[in-house]
Chain A
Amino acid sequence: MTPGSNEPKSRYLQYLEVVTGSLEEKRRYRQYKARIKRLPENYRTAVEALERYLMHFGPADGAGAMSMYEDLADLFEQSAADGTPIRDIFGEDPVEFVEAFMANYPVGQYRARERNRFTSAIERAAGEDTGRQDRTV
């Protein structure tokens, strides 16, 4: 986490974040966006395409998603500095790369919920009902 994030939040800020979502995460997201803006055009285009994919299939929000975007910015800043060709970063199959990358971050709430539901359904079907409730994350 970034420095200062351990300071207790004022009650006002707590209420505000209930309404708007974490301000800390918003700040980190804005910083990420600014880093992407500074990339050469073809790298930026590639990152924006990745972003679109991640919005659909990646972690929905939260600190996990923020570290994912920051790691992404690290990769592309480094690649741009080294002059690594776009195709060398992505390989023949860009989907394979993005899936491998995405797997490092906690799954989004929607996917996590469905995975739990699926796992417990199979447990019940297999007659292993341990009395565990569907965990809704």
Chain B
Amino acid sequence: MGKQVTEMLKGTLEGIVLAILSGRPAYGYEITAWLREQGFSDIAEGTVYALLVRIEQRGLVDVEKVPSEKGPPRKVYSLNAQGREYLEEFWRTWSFLAERLEQLREGGKHT
């Protein structure tokens, strides 16, 4: 994966993570592992963590500390009502952007 996808991912990673959490609660490592499986192989664990700290600060997720057999308790994140609202807005913005870009591409073909 090139530099371009990394740049594009920066603006959308928040929405992607919220979308993952809308399916089911998860902890940081699970989210990173899922992203890697989906082909976002360059994603850094730390970057995902920084994003989780941010969405927690902004009140988009609820956090529960779950004891783990090895190491410190894990923070499990789940999407709350405010997060759902934010995700809906993200999808609307995404549709707008995707539509306009598609128009631009189609327009480019005709000229």
Q: Which of A78, A97, A104 contacts B71 (CB 8 A)?
A: A78
- CB <8 Å contact, A89 and B57: no
Stretch at the interface among A7-15, A69-77, A121-129: A69-77
Q: Which of B44, B50, B54 contacts A88 (CB 8 A)?
A: B44
- CB <8 Å contact, B71 and A80: yes
CB of B55 to closest CB in A, whole Å: 10
Count contacts on B: residues with CB < 8 A to the other chain.
21
Count contacts on A: residues with CB < 8 A to the other chain.
21
Quick check: is A84 within 8 A (CB to CB) of the other chain?
yes
Quick check: is A79 within 8 A (CB to CB) of the other chain?
yes
Q: Which of B44, B46, B54, B57 has the most CB of A within 10 A?
A: B46
Interface of A is mostly: helix
- CB <8 Å contact, B46 and A92: no
CA distance A84 to B30 in the complex (A): 12
CA distance A88 to B68 in the complex (A): 21
CA distance A48 to B10 in the complex (A): 26
Q: Which residues of A are interface residues toward B (Cβ below 8 A)?
A: 71, 74-75, 77-82, 84, 88-92, 96-97, 100-101, 103-104
Given contacts A79-B45, A89-B46, 13 further A-B contacts (CB under 8 A): A75-B46, A78-B71, A78-B72, A78-B74, A84-B45, A89-B44, A89-B45, A90-B44, A91-B43, A91-B47, A92-B42, A101-B49, A104-B54
